[in-house]
Structure 1
Amino acid sequence: MTNTLTIDQLQELLQIQKEFDDRIPTLNLGDSKIAYVVEFFEWFNTLETFKNWKKKPGKPLDVQLDELADMLAFGLSIANQVGVSSEEIKEAIESSFKDTEFHKMFNFKDKEFAQGAVVSTPQIIFKEFYPDQLAIVIAIDIAYNLYTIDQLIDAYKKKMKRNHERQDGTADAGKGYV
């Protein structure tokens, strides 16, 4: 197993997300960007890096990956909405991965980095620091550095299955998903 994301995997993920997004009549880029940032914070909260009073801060791995999968979903949705190709995404990921210092930076257990990430993520998404189509790179970089790409893909596929069930009314009934 290599910790990389292939073009075939990207195409599959973009297609899975498109099929789900096609079910959402109110889908729009602005809301997707807000959701992406919210999901970043929900994922970050699972790390509990700021909870220095706990002996073992951090939610279980499956909870962390579930939230990161939500972030990936909105990154994929943004990419689909702006019409970016899997090849363009792959190129952006490879470009970010060429810089080994860049990878060392993604240490969310480092309080200084974590603070900077918390402050800068909304700016990155809303102030055009990154083109919209590159929002997905952040989720992939997090997976690459803290988990594995395969773990993220597995969590994403499980989450999308659940999201379809929610839209079908067969899961989480009464919680406003349908």
Structure 2
Amino acid sequence: MELKKLFQMQRELDTHIEKKHGLENEDLFDRKVLALLVEIGELANETRSFKFWSVKPSSPKPVVLEEFVDGIHFILSLGIECGFDQESIAIQAQESARNVTEQFLYVYETISSFQKSKAIADYLSLFDSYLTLASLLGFTNNEIEKAYFAKNEVNYQRQQNNY
């Protein structure tokens, strides 16, 4: 995955949003963490992996993928907020003995650890855990990149339309 390109695109989007909304001097870290948690909840809801009481299937793959890349936007943004986009970040999905539900819970744990520490090691753990979730959901790096590019464009359009 072209993380350097994704970080660059996210930095440009963040700058655009912050200028448009007069947030250049705001500390947005906690709001971005909460946004990430909400987006992961929305992703879990689309996968329905935890809904043991229901027989309704997961949403179609493109819907789940779009929700997944919403999380990528905020993970990148958090890295930028902490100055990690300049680091040489090499991240890839790991093999996991967890099922999808367990991986969602682990992602939440890694977010909590990162929120408390703001450390690069915890950021990398968060990113790794999220990409491992992608693998469990059946997404390739190429699919994630393409979906990120498409959603990034949608996010710019939303800003132009006063979303």
With normalisation by structure 1, the TM-score equals: 0.72
Q: How many pairs were matched up? A: 153
Which stretch has the larger CA shift, 30-39 or 138-147?
A: 138-147
Equivalent in 132, 136, 140 of residue 145 of structure 1 = 136
Structure 1 residues not aligned, in runs of 5+: 98-102, 170-175
**Sequence identity (%):** 29
Match of 2:14 in 1: 21
Q: What is the CA distance between 1:75 and its match in structure 2? A: 0.4
Q: What is the CA distance between 1:30 and its match in structure 2? A: 1.6
Q: What is the CA distance between 1:122 and its match in structure 2? A: 4.9
In the aligned structure 2, how far is the partner of 1:115 from the partner of 1:67?
A: 13
Match of 1:133 in 2: 123
Structure 2 residues not aligned, in runs of 5+: none
Matched, 1:161 2:153: yes
Match of 2:40 in 1: 40
CA RMSD of the aligned region, Å? 2.6
Structure 1 residues 77 and 59 mapped into 2: Cα distance closer, same or farther (>3 Å)? Answer: same
Q: What is the CA distance between 1:105 and its match in structure 2? A: 2.9
Q: Any residues of structure 2 matched to 1:77-156 within 5 Å, and which?
A: 77-85=77-85, 88-90=88-90, 93=91, 97=94, 103-108=95-100, 113=102, 116-117=105-106, 120-128=109-117, 131=120, 133-134=123-124, 135-146=126-137, 147-156=139-148
